[in-house]
Amino acid sequence: MRETAHGPIVSPMREIVFDTETTGLDPKTGDRMVEIGCVELYNRVPTGETYHAYFNPERDMPAGAEAVHGLSASFLSDKPLFKELAEELISFLGEAPLVAHNAGFDFGFLNAELAMIGMEPVCMTRMVDTVAIARKRHPGAKLSLDALCTRYGVDRSHRVKHGALLDAELLAQVYVELLGGRQIGLELAADAATSQTSTPDPVAQVIGNKPTAPVRPPRPHAASAEELARHKKFMEGFDQPIWAK
Protein backbone atom coordinates (compact mmCIF):
# COMPACT_ATOMS: atom_id res chain seq x y z
CA MET A 1 0.00 0.00 0.00
CA ARG A 2 1.30 3.47 -0.89
CA GLU A 3 0.50 6.97 0.34
CA THR A 4 -0.53 10.08 -1.60
CA ALA A 5 -1.65 13.49 -0.45
CA HIS A 6 -5.14 12.02 -0.31
CA GLY A 7 -4.22 9.00 1.79
CA PRO A 8 -3.44 5.33 1.08
CA ILE A 9 -3.68 3.84 -2.41
CA VAL A 10 -4.83 0.25 -2.64
CA SER A 11 -3.06 -1.87 -5.23
CA PRO A 12 -5.01 -2.37 -8.47
CA MET A 13 -7.52 -5.21 -8.23
CA ARG A 14 -7.85 -7.55 -11.19
CA GLU A 15 -11.16 -9.36 -11.72
CA ILE A 16 -12.45 -11.59 -14.51
CA VAL A 17 -16.10 -11.47 -15.54
CA PHE A 18 -17.01 -14.63 -17.43
CA ASP A 19 -19.89 -16.58 -18.91
CA THR A 20 -20.29 -20.05 -20.38
CA GLU A 21 -22.59 -21.76 -22.87
CA THR A 22 -23.30 -25.47 -22.51
CA THR A 23 -25.18 -28.42 -23.95
CA GLY A 24 -27.56 -28.45 -20.99
CA LEU A 25 -27.99 -27.80 -17.30
CA ASP A 26 -25.99 -30.46 -15.47
CA PRO A 27 -22.42 -31.67 -16.11
CA LYS A 28 -23.12 -34.67 -13.87
CA THR A 29 -25.50 -36.05 -16.52
CA GLY A 30 -23.05 -35.63 -19.39
CA ASP A 31 -23.62 -32.01 -20.37
CA ARG A 32 -20.52 -30.16 -21.56
CA MET A 33 -19.26 -26.61 -21.83
CA VAL A 34 -19.10 -25.45 -25.44
CA GLU A 35 -18.13 -21.78 -25.12
CA ILE A 36 -16.49 -19.45 -22.61
CA GLY A 37 -16.05 -15.69 -22.72
CA CYS A 38 -13.98 -13.66 -20.24
CA VAL A 39 -13.55 -9.91 -19.72
CA GLU A 40 -10.71 -8.47 -17.66
CA LEU A 41 -11.37 -5.61 -15.21
CA TYR A 42 -8.89 -3.57 -13.22
CA ASN A 43 -10.52 -1.65 -10.38
CA ARG A 44 -13.89 -2.30 -12.04
CA VAL A 45 -12.73 -0.77 -15.35
CA PRO A 46 -12.56 -2.99 -18.49
CA THR A 47 -9.01 -3.12 -19.83
CA GLY A 48 -10.00 -4.35 -23.30
CA GLU A 49 -8.35 -7.73 -22.65
CA THR A 50 -10.68 -10.68 -23.27
CA TYR A 51 -10.54 -14.43 -23.70
CA HIS A 52 -13.02 -16.32 -25.89
CA ALA A 53 -13.14 -19.91 -27.12
CA TYR A 54 -15.51 -22.52 -28.50
CA PHE A 55 -15.08 -26.18 -27.58
CA ASN A 56 -16.04 -29.39 -29.34
CA PRO A 57 -18.18 -31.22 -26.75
CA GLU A 58 -17.80 -34.58 -28.51
CA ARG A 59 -21.54 -35.15 -28.22
CA ASP A 60 -24.82 -34.02 -29.74
CA MET A 61 -26.41 -30.61 -29.13
CA PRO A 62 -29.95 -30.80 -27.70
CA ALA A 63 -32.45 -28.66 -29.59
CA GLY A 64 -33.38 -26.73 -26.47
CA ALA A 65 -29.80 -25.67 -25.82
CA GLU A 66 -29.18 -24.77 -29.45
CA ALA A 67 -32.28 -22.56 -29.40
CA VAL A 68 -30.72 -20.57 -26.56
CA HIS A 69 -27.20 -19.98 -27.90
CA GLY A 70 -27.41 -21.02 -31.57
CA LEU A 71 -24.37 -23.31 -31.43
CA SER A 72 -24.96 -26.47 -33.41
CA ALA A 73 -23.06 -29.74 -33.22
CA SER A 74 -21.96 -29.14 -36.81
CA PHE A 75 -20.53 -25.71 -35.98
CA LEU A 76 -18.64 -27.07 -32.97
CA SER A 77 -17.36 -30.21 -34.68
CA ASP A 78 -14.09 -28.62 -35.86
CA LYS A 79 -13.46 -26.60 -32.71
CA PRO A 80 -10.66 -27.59 -30.28
CA LEU A 81 -11.31 -29.87 -27.34
CA PHE A 82 -11.33 -28.25 -23.91
CA LYS A 83 -8.11 -30.03 -22.95
CA GLU A 84 -6.30 -28.35 -25.84
CA LEU A 85 -7.02 -24.84 -24.50
CA ALA A 86 -7.27 -25.50 -20.77
CA GLU A 87 -3.77 -24.26 -19.88
CA GLU A 88 -4.29 -21.12 -21.96
CA LEU A 89 -7.61 -20.43 -20.25
CA ILE A 90 -6.29 -20.99 -16.72
CA SER A 91 -3.35 -18.72 -17.48
CA PHE A 92 -5.72 -15.92 -18.49
CA LEU A 93 -7.85 -16.39 -15.37
CA GLY A 94 -4.79 -16.22 -13.14
CA GLU A 95 -5.63 -15.85 -9.45
CA ALA A 96 -8.28 -13.17 -9.94
CA PRO A 97 -11.77 -13.29 -8.45
CA LEU A 98 -14.20 -14.69 -11.03
CA VAL A 99 -17.50 -12.88 -11.53
CA ALA A 100 -20.47 -14.63 -13.14
CA HIS A 101 -24.27 -14.42 -13.19
CA ASN A 102 -25.64 -17.39 -11.24
CA ALA A 103 -21.99 -18.22 -10.77
CA GLY A 104 -22.50 -21.68 -9.30
CA PHE A 105 -23.67 -22.88 -12.72
CA ASP A 106 -20.61 -21.58 -14.57
CA PHE A 107 -18.17 -22.73 -11.88
CA GLY A 108 -19.80 -26.16 -11.94
CA PHE A 109 -19.20 -26.60 -15.67
CA LEU A 110 -15.70 -25.11 -15.62
CA ASN A 111 -14.58 -27.36 -12.78
CA ALA A 112 -16.25 -30.40 -14.34
CA GLU A 113 -14.24 -29.84 -17.52
CA LEU A 114 -11.03 -29.41 -15.51
CA ALA A 115 -11.74 -32.58 -13.54
CA MET A 116 -12.21 -34.57 -16.75
CA ILE A 117 -8.64 -33.81 -17.79
CA GLY A 118 -7.09 -34.18 -14.34
CA MET A 119 -6.51 -30.50 -13.62
CA GLU A 120 -7.09 -28.76 -10.30
CA PRO A 121 -10.52 -27.13 -9.91
CA VAL A 122 -10.92 -23.38 -9.59
CA CYS A 123 -11.38 -22.59 -5.89
CA MET A 124 -14.95 -21.67 -5.05
CA THR A 125 -13.71 -18.90 -2.74
CA ARG A 126 -12.91 -16.94 -5.90
CA MET A 127 -16.57 -16.94 -6.94
CA VAL A 128 -18.46 -13.64 -7.13
CA ASP A 129 -22.15 -14.16 -7.96
CA THR A 130 -23.92 -11.14 -9.44
CA VAL A 131 -27.31 -12.77 -8.83
CA ALA A 132 -26.59 -12.79 -5.09
CA ILE A 133 -25.44 -9.16 -5.24
CA ALA A 134 -28.54 -8.13 -7.20
CA ARG A 135 -30.84 -10.01 -4.83
CA LYS A 136 -29.50 -8.04 -1.88
CA ARG A 137 -29.62 -4.73 -3.72
CA HIS A 138 -33.00 -5.20 -5.40
CA PRO A 139 -35.04 -7.66 -3.30
CA GLY A 140 -38.12 -8.94 -5.10
CA ALA A 141 -37.03 -7.58 -8.50
CA LYS A 142 -36.28 -9.62 -11.62
CA LEU A 143 -32.66 -10.77 -11.54
CA SER A 144 -32.02 -11.99 -15.09
CA LEU A 145 -29.19 -10.38 -17.04
CA ASP A 146 -31.74 -8.85 -19.42
CA ALA A 147 -33.70 -7.36 -16.52
CA LEU A 148 -30.58 -5.88 -14.94
CA CYS A 149 -29.43 -4.45 -18.27
CA THR A 150 -32.79 -2.70 -18.52
CA ARG A 151 -32.58 -1.42 -14.95
CA TYR A 152 -29.13 0.08 -15.46
CA GLY A 153 -29.54 1.25 -19.04
CA VAL A 154 -27.01 -1.19 -20.50
CA ASP A 155 -27.59 -1.52 -24.25
CA ARG A 156 -28.29 -5.12 -25.22
CA SER A 157 -29.96 -4.44 -28.57
CA HIS A 158 -27.31 -6.54 -30.34
CA ARG A 159 -28.03 -9.58 -28.15
CA VAL A 160 -30.18 -11.81 -30.36
CA LYS A 161 -29.06 -15.07 -28.77
CA HIS A 162 -26.92 -15.88 -25.76
CA GLY A 163 -23.19 -15.72 -26.43
CA ALA A 164 -20.51 -16.19 -23.79
CA LEU A 165 -18.31 -13.22 -24.66
CA LEU A 166 -21.20 -10.85 -25.37
CA ASP A 167 -22.93 -11.83 -22.13
CA ALA A 168 -19.67 -11.38 -20.20
CA GLU A 169 -19.28 -7.90 -21.66
CA LEU A 170 -22.84 -6.98 -20.69
CA LEU A 171 -22.40 -8.49 -17.24
CA ALA A 172 -19.20 -6.50 -16.68
CA GLN A 173 -21.20 -3.30 -17.14
CA VAL A 174 -24.00 -4.54 -14.89
CA TYR A 175 -21.51 -5.65 -12.22
CA VAL A 176 -19.95 -2.21 -12.06
CA GLU A 177 -23.39 -0.61 -11.70
CA LEU A 178 -24.44 -3.09 -9.01
CA LEU A 179 -21.46 -1.97 -6.95
CA GLY A 180 -22.25 1.71 -7.33
CA GLY A 181 -20.83 2.73 -10.69
CA ARG A 182 -17.31 3.30 -11.97
CA GLN A 183 -16.75 6.62 -10.25
CA ILE A 184 -17.19 5.24 -6.73
CA GLY A 185 -13.80 4.99 -5.03
CA LEU A 186 -11.73 5.67 -8.14
CA GLU A 187 -8.88 8.11 -8.73
CA LEU A 188 -7.01 8.52 -11.99
CA ALA A 189 -3.47 7.24 -12.15
CA ALA A 190 -2.34 10.81 -12.76
CA ASP A 191 -3.00 11.55 -9.10
CA ALA A 192 -0.70 8.73 -8.08
CA ALA A 193 2.06 10.30 -10.17
CA THR A 194 2.19 13.20 -7.71
CA SER A 195 3.27 10.86 -4.91
CA GLN A 196 6.96 11.15 -4.06
CA THR A 197 7.21 7.49 -3.13
CA SER A 198 5.47 5.76 -6.01
CA THR A 199 5.24 5.44 -9.74
CA PRO A 200 1.94 5.84 -11.62
CA ASP A 201 -0.18 2.77 -12.21
CA PRO A 202 -1.70 2.13 -15.66
CA VAL A 203 -5.21 2.08 -14.26
CA ALA A 204 -7.37 4.02 -11.84
CA GLN A 205 -6.66 3.51 -8.12
CA VAL A 206 -9.10 2.77 -5.34
CA ILE A 207 -8.92 5.49 -2.68
CA GLY A 208 -11.04 4.39 0.27
CA ASN A 209 -14.78 5.00 0.11
CA LYS A 210 -14.95 8.79 -0.20
CA PRO A 211 -14.60 11.03 -3.29
CA THR A 212 -11.27 12.84 -3.39
CA ALA A 213 -11.96 15.49 -6.06
CA PRO A 214 -11.23 19.08 -4.93
CA VAL A 215 -14.20 21.23 -3.94
CA ARG A 216 -14.82 23.85 -6.61
CA PRO A 217 -16.36 27.26 -5.86
CA PRO A 218 -19.82 27.89 -7.32
CA ARG A 219 -19.82 29.49 -10.74
CA PRO A 220 -21.92 32.62 -11.49
CA HIS A 221 -25.12 31.60 -13.23
CA ALA A 222 -27.45 34.61 -13.01
CA ALA A 223 -28.97 35.77 -16.29
CA SER A 224 -27.70 39.05 -17.75
CA ALA A 225 -29.98 42.03 -18.39
CA GLU A 226 -29.85 41.31 -22.12
CA GLU A 227 -30.86 37.66 -21.55
CA LEU A 228 -33.74 38.71 -19.29
CA ALA A 229 -34.97 41.14 -21.92
CA ARG A 230 -34.90 38.48 -24.65
CA HIS A 231 -36.73 36.06 -22.38
CA LYS A 232 -39.45 38.65 -21.60
CA LYS A 233 -39.95 39.35 -25.30
CA PHE A 234 -40.17 35.61 -26.01
CA MET A 235 -42.76 35.06 -23.30
CA GLU A 236 -44.91 37.94 -24.56
CA GLY A 237 -45.28 36.08 -27.84
CA PHE A 238 -47.57 33.42 -26.29
CA ASP A 239 -51.29 33.88 -26.88
CA GLN A 240 -53.28 33.52 -23.64
CA PRO A 241 -50.74 31.43 -21.71
CA ILE A 242 -52.15 29.34 -18.88
CA TRP A 243 -49.74 30.91 -16.37
CA ALA A 244 -51.35 34.32 -16.97
CA LYS A 245 -54.77 33.15 -15.72
Catalytic choice (6, 52, 69, 162): 162
The pLDDT value recorded for residue 45 is 95
> How far is Cα 45 from Cα 244, in angstroms, rounded to an integer?
52
Range with the lowest mean pLDDT among 70-84, 166-180, 227-241?
A: 227-241
**Cβ neighbours of 55 (radius 10 Å):** 25
**What percent of the chain is predicted at pLDDT more than 90?**
65
pTM above 0.75, yes or no: no
User: Is the pLDDT assigned to residue 62 strictly greater than 90?
Assistant: yes
User: Is the pLDDT assigned to residue 188 strictly greater than 60?
Assistant: no
Q: Is 69 a catalytic site residue? A: no
Average pLDDT over residues 216-221: 65
User: Is the pLDDT assigned to residue 89 strictly greater than 70?
Assistant: yes
**What percent of the chain is predicted at pLDDT more than 70?**
77
- Domain 13-178 is found in CATH 3.10.450.50: no
Q: Is the dihedral angle over the CA atoms 56, 53, 102, 104 positive or is it negative?
A: positive
Range with the lowest mean pLDDT among 10-19, 84-93, 225-234?
A: 225-234
User: Is the pLDDT assigned to residue 168 strictly greater than 70?
Assistant: yes
Average pLDDT, the chain: 84
Range with the lowest mean pLDDT among 99-103, 154-158, 223-227?
A: 223-227
Domain edges within the chain: 13-178
State residue 68 phi and psi, 5-degree precision. Answer: -80, -50
Average pLDDT over residues 132-151: 96
Question: Which residues lie below 8 Å from residue 44, measured CB to CB, with a gap of 6+?
Answer: 13, 15, 175, 176, 179, 182, 186
